[in-house]
A and B are shown apart, each in its own frame.
Chain A
Amino acid sequence: MTAILELSGVTRRFGGVAALSGAGFAVGEGEVVALIGPNGAGKTTCFNVIDGTLRPDAGEVRFAGARITGLAPEVIAHRGIGRTFQVASTFGSMTVRESVAIAAAAHARRDGRFAAPPLATHSAPIDALLAAAGIAALADQVCATLAWGDAKRVELALVRAGSPRLLLLDEPAAGLEPDSRRTLMQQASALARNDGVAVLFTEHDMDVVFGFADRIVVLNRGAVIADGPPAAIRASAEVAEAYLGSAAPAAAKVDTPRASPSMDG
């Protein structure tokens, strides 16, 4: 499988704290990878480094073969990386339909046109995007008034409007009831299976992680301590220790991420 995303040696400090220290892993085309780890392990920092919100202090991020480290988020989005946020973020003052339409227009690089006809909000592609995300019924609702779960679905539709080749989902299932959780994750898996979109997601719910991930990357204290298929991760003593036992010895024992019990897929 060809890797579409590769991180190597990524380090990012906040003051004296290293949120990421030398983290490295890869995601293949069409692969669904879960990024897990205890609170504060560096999952969201990792997302922010990949999508360009944060510049790493060291290391590099490669996407589709090219180095993207330090590029602006909007440039990286145009390269084909879409993301959701832990707290779903939508355009509060717009209707769902308008939001999806402007996301699609931005993807087509039409967001700078001011001497132009009005933004087309009623078109077949936009209806298709709304239908695919299962939010056609919400089309005319103003985003600021969306319920938590609906906001998550709308945000995913905004991301899909950019036809990404890699989806970063930050806790997609958090706060959803089991049914919506399954629907949302099935949507993501379908994108991976049918369209070859790579998916990298963080999640605390282990049922979701083990139910949907092809591979699991475990972060602890900013470093990758395990990387392998779900079965191997489930069996790993080190992961269990990081989650359940005292985390410090587990992290100290690992010299390099790749030295973890041979779990590379």
Chain B
Amino acid sequence: MSLASFAVQLLNGLASASSLFLVAAGLTLIFGVTRIVNFAHGSFFMLGAYVGWSAGHVLAAALPASPLSFWLAVLAAGIAVAALGAVIEVLILRRIYAAPELLQLTATFGVLLIAGDATLALWGAEDRLGPRVPGLSGTVPVLGYAVPSYELALIAIAVAVFALLTLLLRRTRFGVLVRAAAENREIAGALGIDQATLYTTVFALGSFLAGAAGALALPREPANLGMDLAVIADAFVVTVLGGLGSIPGAFIAALAIGVTKALCIAAGTIEVGGIALALPRLARVIEFIVMALVLLVRPTGLFGTQSTPAAQSISGHRRLEPPGRIAAWSALALAAGAALLPALAGSYAAVLATDILVAALFTASLQLLTGSGGMASFGHAAWFGIGAYAAAWMSLAGYPFALAVIAAPIAAAAVAAAFAGLSSRVSGIHFAMLTLALAQILWSGALDWEPVTGGSNGLIGVWPPPALADPRHYYALVLAICAIALVALVAVAFTPYGYALRASRDAPLRARACGIAVGRRRREAIWLSAAFAGLAGALYAFSKGGVGPDSLAIPRSVDALVMLLLGGLSAVFGPLAGAAALTWLQDTLARSTEYWHAATGIAILVLVLVFPDGIATLGNVARALRRSGARA
């Protein structure tokens, strides 16, 4: 490869980095002040692209041949998205600033689902090709290669925005307020800073950046419905890598990722010790690898100062009540009812009930990690997917069904034990991001490692033995396995280990001073939880007849979080309730409306706003009713 072609790749990488920086700067600004990990930021980027596309068409008609039309469209997209962001902040987020972090995250994911379907309704499913930018549609010769001049403009814009943001934060009164609130919200509030206005303003500014970035991305990639999740994963990586809340950190991290990606693509396939490494393929996950490596060395990112106290903010010290006699009888009654279900309701009900049980087991495994352990995970699908792929691969390789089902949790736990050892210094939101990175790396591996994983088609033809071919029979087996596994998970929570894990979450210093090996208890929670998730993955693979990369993707991880929070982080029946509610809801909605994502999003928002403790804690419902009765 020549130096010149490398330089061109580098410029291309810098242009991508610039786009990424604009999105990440907004995200990190919002996080710094409000402490909200905002999934909807991806939607703001996507909406910016679509609004920019529409506005561009309108303006091009109004101002024919004017170079201004594109830039005015970018501005319009930014302003429209900023307004939307402000409305969302006032209507939804403002009500949940005091809620546990994970709940806020779930709410923003609900917004993402709604925004995604709204975009589908307004602009349709097909990709919208962006305009050529008047005056910048040509190329500039660089070292004998033609470089699109728009890419150079994009780099200049990112540098200018970085400079402006730095000036804004360092030299203006607004900047002082933002930095004060980021440093310590309580004191900033006590000093008389109008927090409500500040938060809304910051949210609008961050959304403006995302919207404008979306419109600016149009000439390089068409507006499409997958943009939101794709960009939010990248933006999370940049903000975490740079240090949450740090604008210079986001700038440097975006550059580092852009350049590393360019290097991977430019290097092509290289040979190391006789093994051919296709580096361009690595470009898909290189950012996650970079983030994982940085977090292992600097657990709070390049410019990060402190880790957010994960334990308290996540659990909110909700008590896990030991199940009493009533709970035990209800569980028995539930199991008996579930056992009779196929006879009463037929095989479709059995398929749906299988899905619910698998989802409940997956969610219960997350409850051990996040509920009892206080460790949030944004990548729990990693363990589910490893289990699913391991079982599918064994089954296709000719091993018996039982062996495949047993191997799945072992495979997941083994990978998890290694991951737990590596990540032991990383905590809080950074740990959650590291799990996300792992899941994304595995997801990309599943796509690329075709001989073993089947690539994007996945592994198909994975069925249980003939005796279980009838969905009702397979359901009976899943019911037996899940019942045992769910009871085992509840039992673990009340063993000395379960209490020690919760003690480590509630007060880590106190726990250590009592002689509890907090670090070891947490590492055990990671692999124990992974084993159960892996088992769920195996049951899933055999119920669907195969497994694809989607079993490792972000939506699956988020589904587990949503089900957990719907059911209640610290409710014994929470995972089952949450899984039943979400799975049934999605199934019903998917059959009745094209916009079932949005319907799910609305349901999530309603539940989060009305039942912040989860639907399984019915005591809260009773209390809420009594309260509203008292008010009336």
User: B515 touches which one: A78, A89, A155 (CB < 8 A)?
Assistant: A78
Given the interface contacts A94-B499, A94-B503, does A51 sit within 8 Å of B513 by beta carbon?
yes
Q: Can you list, as one digit per residue, whether each of B526-545 has a CB less than 8 Å from chain A (1) or not (0)? A: 00100000000000000000
Give min CB distance, A120 to chain B, whole Å.
9
On whether the beta carbons of A74 and B315 are closer than 8 Å, the reply is no
On whether the beta carbons of A113 and B496 are closer than 8 Å, the reply is yes
Contacts of B492-549 to chain A: CB distance below 8 A:
492, 494-500, 502-503, 505-507, 509-518, 520-521, 524, 528
Contacts of B315 in A (CB 8 A): 93
**A67, CB-defined interface residue at 8 Å:** no
Contacts of A82 in B (CB 8 A): 513
Q: Can you list, as one digit per residue, whether each of A57-95 has a CB less than 8 Å from chain B (1) or not (0)? A: 000000000000000111001100011010001111110
On whether the beta carbons of B502 and A94 are closer than 8 Å, the reply is yes
On whether the beta carbons of A112 and B570 are closer than 8 Å, the reply is no
Q: Can you list, as one digit per residue, whether each of B560-581 has a CB less than 8 Å from chain A (1) or not (0)? A: 0000000000100000000000
Q: How many A-B residue pairs have CB under 8 A?
A: 128
**A103, CB-defined interface residue at 8 Å:** yes
**B319, CB-defined interface residue at 8 Å:** yes
On whether the beta carbons of A117 and B517 are closer than 8 Å, the reply is no
User: B503 touches which one: A53, A91, A116 (CB < 8 A)?
Assistant: A91
On whether the beta carbons of B510 and A158 are closer than 8 Å, the reply is yes
On whether the beta carbons of A93 and B320 are closer than 8 Å, the reply is yes
On whether the beta carbons of A119 and B516 are closer than 8 Å, the reply is no
Contacts of B318-336 to chain A: CB distance below 8 A:
318-320, 322
Contacts of A56 in B (CB 8 A): none
How distant is the Cα of A112 from the Cα of B522 in the complex, in angstroms?
10
On whether the beta carbons of A93 and B514 are closer than 8 Å, the reply is no
User: A74 touches which one: B317, B494, B512 (CB < 8 A)?
Assistant: B512
Give min CB distance, B183 to chain A, whole Å.
18
**B618, CB-defined interface residue at 8 Å:** no
Give min CB distance, B318 to chain A, whole Å.
6
On whether the beta carbons of A102 and B503 are closer than 8 Å, the reply is yes
Give min CB distance, A133 to chain B, whole Å.
14
Contacts of B318 in A (CB 8 A): 93
User: A93 touches which one: B516, B518, B570 (CB < 8 A)?
Assistant: B570
**B491, CB-defined interface residue at 8 Å:** yes
Q: Can you list, as one digit per residue, whether each of A89-121 has a CB less than 8 Å from chain B (1) or not (0)? A: 111111000110111011101111111111100
Contacts of A113 in B (CB 8 A): 495-497
On whether the beta carbons of A112 and B497 are closer than 8 Å, the reply is yes
Contacts of A90 in B (CB 8 A): 506-507, 510
How distant is the Cα of A107 from the Cα of B320 in the complex, in angstroms?
23
How distant is the Cα of A142 from the Cα of B317 in the complex, in angstroms?
10
**A32, CB-defined interface residue at 8 Å:** no
Chain A residue at minimal CB-CB distance from B570: A93
**A128, CB-defined interface residue at 8 Å:** no
Q: Can you list, as one digit per residue, whether each of B292-329 has a CB less than 8 Å from chain A (1) or not (0)? A: 00000000000000000000000101111010000000
Give min CB distance, B295 to chain A, whole Å.
22
Chain A residue at minimal CB-CB distance from B510: A89
How distant is the Cα of A113 from the Cα of B521 in the complex, in angstroms?
10
Contacts of B517 in A (CB 8 A): 72, 74, 111-112
Chain A residue at minimal CB-CB distance from B318: A93
Interface size on A (CB < 8 Å)? Answer: 43
Given the interface contacts A106-B500, A114-B498, A119-B494, does A73 sit within 8 Å of B512 by beta carbon?
yes
**A132, CB-defined interface residue at 8 Å:** no
Contacts of B506 in A (CB 8 A): 90-94, 143
Chain B residue at minimal CB-CB distance from A89: B510
Contacts of A138-182 to chain B: CB distance below 8 A:
142-144, 155, 158-159, 161-162
How distant is the Cα of A119 from the Cα of B317 in the complex, in angstroms?
19
Give min CB distance, A5 to chain B, whole Å.
16
Given the interface contacts A73-B509, A94-B319, A111-B521, does A105 sit within 8 Å of B500 by beta carbon?
yes
How distant is the Cα of A119 from the Cα of B505 in the complex, in angstroms?
17
Contacts of A101 in B (CB 8 A): 499
On whether the beta carbons of B319 and A119 are closer than 8 Å, the reply is no
Chain A residue at minimal CB-CB distance from B319: A93
How distant is the Cα of A72 from the Cα of B586 in the complex, in angstroms?
48
Contacts of B500 in A (CB 8 A): 102, 105-106, 111-112
User: A112 touches which one: B320, B491, B507, B524 (CB < 8 A)?
Assistant: B524
Given the interface contacts A93-B320, A94-B499, A101-B499, does A77 sit within 8 Å of B509 by beta carbon?
no
On whether the beta carbons of B521 and A91 are closer than 8 Å, the reply is no
Contacts of A114 in B (CB 8 A): 492, 495, 497-498, 524, 528
Task: Name the residue among A72, A105, A117, A159 with the largest chain B CB count within 10 angstroms.
Answer: A105
Task: Name the residue among A102, A144, A158, A161 with the largest chain B CB count within 10 angstroms.
Answer: A102
On whether the beta carbons of A111 and B496 are closer than 8 Å, the reply is yes
Given the interface contacts A94-B319, A111-B515, does A85 sit within 8 Å of B499 by beta carbon?
no
Contacts of A51 in B (CB 8 A): 513
On whether the beta carbons of B495 and A74 are closer than 8 Å, the reply is no
Give min CB distance, A157 to chain B, whole Å.
11
How distant is the Cα of A236 from the Cα of B518 in the complex, in angstroms?
44
How distant is the Cα of A73 from the Cα of B528 in the complex, in angstroms?
25
Contacts of A161 in B (CB 8 A): 514
On whether the beta carbons of B317 and A106 are closer than 8 Å, the reply is no
Chain B residue at minimal CB-CB distance from A53: B509
Contacts of A94 in B (CB 8 A): 319, 499, 502-503, 506
On whether the beta carbons of A91 and B513 are closer than 8 Å, the reply is no
On whether the beta carbons of A98 and B499 are closer than 8 Å, the reply is yes
How distant is the Cα of A162 from the Cα of B517 in the complex, in angstroms?
14
For the A-B complex with A111-B517, A113-B497, A162-B515 known, give 15 more contacts whose Cβ atoms are closer than 8 Å.
Answer: A73-B512, A74-B515, A85-B510, A89-B507, A90-B510, A91-B507, A93-B318, A94-B499, A103-B515, A105-B496, A106-B496, A106-B511, A111-B496, A114-B524, A119-B496
What 10 A-B pairs come out closest when comparing CB atoms?
Answer: A114-B497, A111-B500, A77-B515, A89-B510, A92-B317, A73-B512, A102-B499, A91-B506, A118-B494, A105-B496
Q: List 12 A-B residue pairs with CB atoms under 8 Å apart, sorted by A's residue number.
A: A74-B515, A77-B514, A85-B509, A91-B506, A91-B510, A94-B502, A101-B499, A106-B503, A114-B524, A116-B495, A119-B495, A158-B514
